[in-house]
Amino acid sequence: MKDREQQNKTIKKVILKTVLITIVILIAIVFTDKKGFFNPDNRNNHTLKKWDSFYDFTKKNDVDILLIGNSHLYTGINPKNLSCALGVNAFILASPGTRVIDHYYSLEEAIKVSKPKLVIIETYGIKEHEVFQLKKGPLSDQFKSFSARRDFSLKLKSTPYLFSAKHYPYAWSNTLRNHDFIFNNYKQISNNIQLSKKRKKKQQKLYLGRYVRFQTGVEDSVLNLYNTKGSPVNGADFKTNNTTTIYINKIIGLCRENNIQLMFLTLPMYNKHIENYSLWRNKLKLNLDEFGDMDHWLDLQIPENYSGFSRNSFENTYKTNQHMTYSGSLLATYKLVDFINTRNFLENYSRKTTQKWRNVFYADEGFFENNTPVKHDKNNRVLYKDKNIEILLLKNSKYNTLLAKVNPITSKKNQIELESILKSNNTEYTQKLVLNLDIYHSTKSNLNYLLNINKQVENIEIIGIENL
């Protein structure tokens, strides 16, 4: 009996000391993590930027539309234009390379912070996923997305589903993941130490999660490849598995529990870039079966929704993963606006008349495409307006812009000539300005055309319009 007591004492002593040492070690690791000594170079980490902005934005604002996906989403939708067109707060939380399992956990955390009225899931991430076989790029993407989130309990809960056991420590700790910086990247440690001494700068400009990477569209060289080699993407290769189905259902269930409207969005690739899309679509349909009538799915890849997209809407690449350009994203955004309005997902909800909303979005990207400048605005004003067209002059620090908002029903031309008087340095002169209506976005609701003009021009007066 005495021996047993002595033994128990001994074991307790060992366990206690081991636990104590473990705690000290953990404190050391948590310290270096919190200080960020082993952080990777986050200057281009826009996933982190998105989540930081999301938390900042939701301190004072609610999110009405939450879009979740991966790189296809943040290059394919313009959240400011979406917000301004609908008069709501739209935010994109998307991390490159992630799949539907990550979308679910991101959604779970996001709605805990701010419950939206509508959630939009982009479908490119709805694919076959094997958590325990993640390596290199996809694993690194998953780490990035995981690290950017902040809710400790939800991150803890999601860890076993996102990573295999051997990756848990690396998911949680930059110190463990990047300790090799000591030899291979000491400069980064040095930069991190400097950064840790400075206060974190708050983002000045409104950031809602878009990341524009591609400005120019598909070039002839790639078009030739389509002709000679065929489409690089084959819908027949698209696969899903149990994980996909489980997590789509979890997303659906989560939205239902929280009375959130849910829709799915498929952003397109160039139609020559993909063949047998119907096979892909049919498999996706099976997974989205829960929805029944497919009325909650905007598929921009199918012909009836694809109109308006051209080679200029898509990234110039023959690689399988093709994103949209800036112009393509605008078109996709306004098609999404039409879809939401037609199905009335927001039930006519709008913040357009609220001063708080206008303070957030006024004069920002997309605002004047969808709203009118206030009368006392010196930098932005209506130059001309009738039932067919409204022309605005917009000034900012970089350039001046003429924005022509044309009624889509009446306009059939591809060019507008504006007879205008321009004033510059106390000189006035008449000039014809030509707006080329190279349709870069066309929807039922809006035709917007932009012409950048010389910054030196102080004032414009429209005296005539032709060819409308």
Q: Interface residues with other proteins (CB under 8 A)?
A: 3-4, 7-8, 10-11, 13-15, 17-18, 20-21, 24-25, 28-29, 136, 139-140, 143, 165-170, 175-180, 182-184, 186
**Coil vs helix vs strand at 235:** helix
- Rounded CA gap, 272 and 270, in Å? 5
Q: For the chain, first and last CA: distance in Å?
A: 102
The answer to whether the Cα torsion of 304, 307, 313, 316 is positive or negative is: positive
Q: How far is the CB of 311 from other proteins (least distance, A)?
A: 38
Q: How far is the CB of 14 from other proteins (least distance, A)?
A: 5
Q: Of 59 and 136, which has the nearer Cβ to other proteins?
A: 136
Q: Of 135 and 375, which has the nearer Cβ to other proteins?
A: 135
Q: Of 178 and 261, which has the nearer Cβ to other proteins?
A: 178
Q: How far is the CB of 368 from other proteins (least distance, A)?
A: 47
DSSP string for 364-432: STTHHHHS---TT-SSEEEEEE-SSEEEEEEE-SS-EEEEEEE-TTT---SEEEEEEEEEETTEEEEEE
The count of other CB atoms within 10 Å of the CB of residue 107 is: 24
φ and ψ of 65, to 5 deg: -120, 125
Are the CB atoms for 443 and 392 separated by under 8 Å?
no
Q: How far is the CB of 183 from other proteins (least distance, A)?
A: 4
Q: Of 21 and 286, which has the nearer Cβ to other proteins?
A: 21
Q: Of 6 and 282, which has the nearer Cβ to other proteins?
A: 6
Q: Of 47 and 329, which has the nearer Cβ to other proteins?
A: 47
Q: Of 37 and 247, which has the nearer Cβ to other proteins?
A: 37
Are the CB atoms for 106 and 158 separated by under 8 Å?
no
Structure tokens at 243: 């994980």
Are the CB atoms for 177 and 170 separated by under 8 Å?
yes
